[in-house]
Structure 1
Amino acid sequence: MRFSRVVEASGAVAATRSRTRKTAELGGLLDDATAEEIPTVVAWLSGVIPQGRLGVGWRSLTSLTPTPSESPSLTVAGVDDLFVRLAAAGGPGSVALRQGLLTELFGSATESEQDFLRRLMTGELRQGALAGVMVDAIAKASGQPLDLVRRAHMLTGSLPETASLAVHGGAQALAGVGLQVGRAVAPMLATPADSLADAVAALGPDLVVDFKLDGARIQVHRRDDEIAVYTRSLRDITAAVPDLVEVVRGLPCRTVILDGETLTLDADGRPRPFQDTMSRFGSSGELADDPNGLLRPFFFDCLHLDGIDLIDRPLSERLAALTTVAPGMRIPSVTNPTVAEAERHFDAALAAGHEGVMVKSLAGPYAAGRRGKAWQKVKPVHTIDLVVLGAEWGSGRRTGFLSNLHLGARDPDGGPPIMVGKTFKGLTDALLQWQTDEFGRHETHRDGHTVYLRPEIVVEIELDGVQRSSRYPGGVALRFARVVRYRPDKTVDEADTIDAIRALLP
């Protein structure tokens, strides 16, 4: 297949907001691709390079200025092969080798192909091919049931692998996908509840209410002495968390997959600031000298235990397995509480320094990768996760610091984030210094007052509500927004959508 066919499909997908048209365009592209090409094409149009890191930076790509080719000649296989060679380049002379390969690639590309390549290689390919749309397209092109394709994607966490299974193995291969110890599973997510009483009424009487810890989501896998720890975005952080590895190694089992949270605690048992926990994920893996700097695991689910997959079993059975293997590491919880008992548990969570509670149906299976109604989260104030689009230089005591943040909500159709407001409230001196140092690494351009960023940073915002506004393109504006914390554990694809923001309108 010509590479230009992929680029044309990407442009067509970006040009429409219709999910049906996106699916049809992607499905047509996959129909035209060979079985060998489909996983690569699916990866590219999902903004992913199968080879991972290519050793090519933003500056290297923006400095390339070869004259575009007048006619398309690149193929999918040819570009994929060149990416393989880029990823393999290393050692003495690798810089010159990479530069030569980039010159070869871009010199053979048309203007539209050059633009696509730059955006793909810098992580800025946002043409609207969201995971859900791509799953639909894979089902359409392969002729396989959508439910089977969707389940396989949730369990593999890989669109290219799912596409390959659908095309090469069909329904039998898709249905055969199960949990695999050592392969991360997309985590189940919770839906915000209007109130604690509403959540208890909706999910009761057979339910459990867990503390919602102010920590970082982890998924732990163990097969004998082989242990892996993943973040909510499925990033492998095993090397950075030896304290968690040692805890899991001591559990009385051979194989297990656990879902939970980790955080650092003060001497009095209260959670340290979220940033303290997240800083450990970027460390060298050496244990902290301060014993209170150790990461402590708290688990709330068990998806597999000693050869038995539990993901499709009700939560009550999964919790029984968790109690068997790690009883001392359960998140504080109450089972089948009355509304009054649930409220007391909620108050206890806040008093202990945590975010609130999670209300869960004991009958529900684990909906991997989905925001299921069987889990509902309750917090004392409303918070949302938004994308930082830019920041304005401060004045007065904030002179010299990037201060006022430009905030965007995620476009559910895959377009660029949609601006919904600004805020400079809630920023401590430490956060001002951090964002002034950090934002330059994500800068696209600037003017006299503002530094504009690539949409890569997620920030948690507390607000009193939203109101209709013609000032911003989404038609809504935040009311009394203030920064709670940055969320390095979340990707931009996990930010709240413009539809979720509009749903807050009175």
Structure 2
Amino acid sequence: MKRFAQLFTALDQTTKTNAKVAALASYFRDASDTDKLWTIALLSGRRPKRGVTTTLLREWAAGKAGIPLWLFEECYPIVGDLSETIALVLPPATGTSDRTLTAWIEVVRDIGKHEVATKKEIILNAWDSLSPIERFLFNKLITGGLRIGVSQKLMTRALAQATEIEEATLAHRLMGDWTPDTTTFEDLILSENPEADASKPYPFYLAYQLEDLEALGPPEDWRAEWKWDGIRGQLVIRRGAHHLWSRGEELITDRFPEFAMLRDFAPDGTVFDGEILAWDDTADAPQSFNALQPRIGRKTVPKKLLKEAPAVLYAYDLLEHQGTDIRGQPYDVRRKHLAETIAALPPDAPICLSANEPFADWAALGQLREISRDRLAEGFMLKRGDSPYRSGRKKGDWWKWKVDPLMIDAVMIYAQAGSGRRANLFTDFTFAVRNGNELVPFTKAYSGLTDAEFRQITAWVKRNTVQKFGPVRQVTPQHVFEIAFEGIQKSPRHKSGVALRFPRMSRWRHDKPIDEANTLDDLNEMLEQYG
């Protein structure tokens, strides 16, 4: 644990990429294999499950510190982080511990099996044997909130330096449904294990939003595809089995049973990349994302849903062909293989080729882009014809050229404090539209303002709170904000009857009084037009 604490401190004290990579590479050279494996797991989001509630941790910390609970609760929002608050209020430890990171994680994982009294004894003994920074990390592990300012890309680069294995190879090995319980550092990182790769997807290539169209150069170098609003996924077909992965590395095979037939017809050693869409057989066109949402979170899919919203994979890339990784080949070559592969499948196969859209020049493509929402698309993806399929978000070869977001002016009616570095600021807001003389809440948003604006609105909230509901404050309706969003749909769960897709604050409308904010009728018109 001491070595892991040193690593965390080194990473926390610098914003320089090279310094972070160097600290990680040094750790990966020196730490034990089990600690290295758990560090990789933690940095890639594989955390132990929470075994103790934060309510109990607050009570025990206040008792150990000899302060009333109300005082601890007053300290918490000032510090802005529960784990750090606990580490700061506790008295100095009376002992030390040489337990490794892996050993402490075992404590964290086992604690949920015990009665409350035993949990308390384990936690208090742990706090009494750890330094302040070790306590902080232990608390983070207990609460499941450990997040370190290192991307998986930086971690992979550090592993490459420590092991002398290529980054691209490591990025692929780290994909998939592994945990420290199902593999070892040797098998995951160091070994070429064909069995382990049977179900693994490839790292997804992600695009940046296009800022300067003219900077792309000659249009003939580029290919344009409609950007569909679905679930990005890779369909892996190897050794007679199929595996469907989301962009977030979640295995979602069971939620889309339609794709099972492809393992019988697609060549073994095939990996498709594309967008999972709900399909309208009558119109021979995609349905809205709203039709796909009931699949999310399900383990089994009822027959009614399979009939009403059958899924297809709108494939736009081929990453593996006849068992060979072809990501290094030019986009145009991969697309040729993709088209040939799909053409050889039965006509009723739940997969379509997301065709390139021909265009004479950028102006012509811009005109096509204007009808994106009519096609239930978000705009275009622009891909250079000679580009390889890269790992992660890279600039240069792939760009997303999305349509401008939808906008509505709304009134802020509730505010809640944020978390982490923004725990002292009100950053999470509920917004309403006008409906006669009342304000009808319809969405929440917590991003889009600058820190200076958040500080300004926080000071105002403190002076204009009407009621408190736990952490939520009802405020005097006074401020109008422009809310940007990507889509709108019906929602019986909301009083307004609608729900927005990806809402965020785009502007604080200091120039607009609340009687000029949009109405519920405006919202319903948008629902009729775009829902």
Q: Identify whether the pair has TM-score above 0.5, normalized to the shorter chain.
A: yes
1:405 equivalent in structure 2? 445
2:502 equivalent in structure 1? 459
Cα displacement string for residues 128-148 of structure 1 (whole angstroms, at most 9, x for unaligned residues): 2332333343345x2637xx2
1:313 equivalent in structure 2? 329
1:304 equivalent in structure 2? 320
2:429 equivalent in structure 1? 392
Taking a change above 3 Å as real, the CA distance of residues 430 and 344 of structure 1, as seen in their structure-2 partners, is closer
Aligned partners of 2:44 and 2:240: how far apart in 1? 35
2:175 equivalent in structure 1? 157
1:284 equivalent in structure 2? 299
Q: Any idea what SS the aligned residue of 1:262 has?
A: strand
1:351 equivalent in structure 2? 374
Question: Displacement of 1:299 after TM fit?
Answer: 0.4
> Given the alignment of the two structures, is residue 144 of structure 1 paired with residue 164 of structure 2, yes or no?
yes
Task: State whether residues 404 and 424 of structure 1, in contact with CA within 8 Å, keep that contact through their aligned partners in structure 2.
Answer: no
Aligned partners of 2:120 and 2:43: how far apart in 1? 20
Aligned partners of 1:410 and 1:181: how far apart in 2? 46
- Equivalences for residues 44-193 of structure 1 within 5 A: 44=42, 48-49=46-47, 53=49, 65=61, 67=64, 69-73=93-97, 74-83=99-108, 85=110, 94=113, 96=115, 100=118, 103-104=121-122, 107-109=125-127, 110=130, 111-140=132-161, 142=162, 144=164, 148-149=166-167, 151-154=169-172, 156-157=174-175, 164=185, 169=190, 180-193=197-210
Instruction: Pick one of 253, 257, 268 that aligns with 2:267.
Output: 253
- Of 321-330 and 8-17, more deviation after overlay is shown by 8-17
- Of 103-112 and 229-238, more deviation after overlay is shown by 103-112
Instruction: Pick one of 468, 483, 486 that aligns with 1:425.
Output: 483
What is the TM-score of this pair, normalised by structure 1? 0.67
Task: State whether residues 381 and 462 of structure 1, in contact with CA within 8 Å, keep that contact through their aligned partners in structure 2.
Answer: no
1:10 equivalent in structure 2? 8
2:35 equivalent in structure 1? 37
Aligned partners of 1:165 and 1:460: how far apart in 2? 44
**Structure 2 counterpart of 1:192, one-letter code:** Q
Aligned partners of 2:428 and 2:57: how far apart in 1? 25
Task: State whether residues 447 and 505 of structure 2, in contact with CA within 8 Å, keep that contact through their aligned partners in structure 1.
Answer: no
What is the TM-score of this pair, normalised by structure 2? 0.64
- Equivalences for residues 436-475 of structure 1 within 5 A: 459=502, 461=504, 463=506
Aligned partners of 1:325 and 1:312: how far apart in 2? 18
Aligned partners of 2:450 and 2:28: how far apart in 1? 26
Aligned partners of 1:218 and 1:212: how far apart in 2? 14
Question: Displacement of 1:316 after TM fit?
Answer: 1.8
Identity %: 17
Question: Displacement of 1:383 after TM fit?
Answer: 9.1
Taking a change above 3 Å as real, the CA distance of residues 63 and 287 of structure 1, as seen in their structure-2 partners, is farther
- Of 298-307 and 262-271, more deviation after overlay is shown by 262-271
1:209 equivalent in structure 2? 224
Q: Any idea what SS the aligned residue of 2:122 has?
A: helix
Q: Any idea what SS the aligned residue of 1:329 has?
A: strand
Aligned partners of 1:168 and 1:127: how far apart in 2? 21
Aligned partners of 1:303 and 1:435: how far apart in 2? 45
Taking a change above 3 Å as real, the CA distance of residues 325 and 47 of structure 1, as seen in their structure-2 partners, is closer
**Structure 2 counterpart of 1:216, one-letter code:** I
Aligned partners of 1:410 and 1:185: how far apart in 2? 36
Question: Displacement of 1:211 after TM fit?
Answer: 1.0
**Structure 2 counterpart of 1:131, one-letter code:** Q
2:383 equivalent in structure 1? 360
**Structure 2 counterpart of 1:132, one-letter code:** K
- Of 21-30 and 292-301, more deviation after overlay is shown by 21-30
Q: Any idea what SS the aligned residue of 2:377 has?
A: coil
Question: Displacement of 1:351 after TM fit?
Answer: 3.2
> Given the alignment of the two structures, is residue 375 of structure 1 paired with residue 398 of structure 2, yes or no?
yes
- Of 213-222 and 287-296, more deviation after overlay is shown by 287-296
Question: Displacement of 1:62 after TM fit?
Answer: 5.1
Aligned partners of 2:313 and 2:239: how far apart in 1? 19
1:447 equivalent in structure 2? none
> Given the alignment of the two structures, is residue 241 of structure 1 paired with residue 256 of structure 2, yes or no?
yes
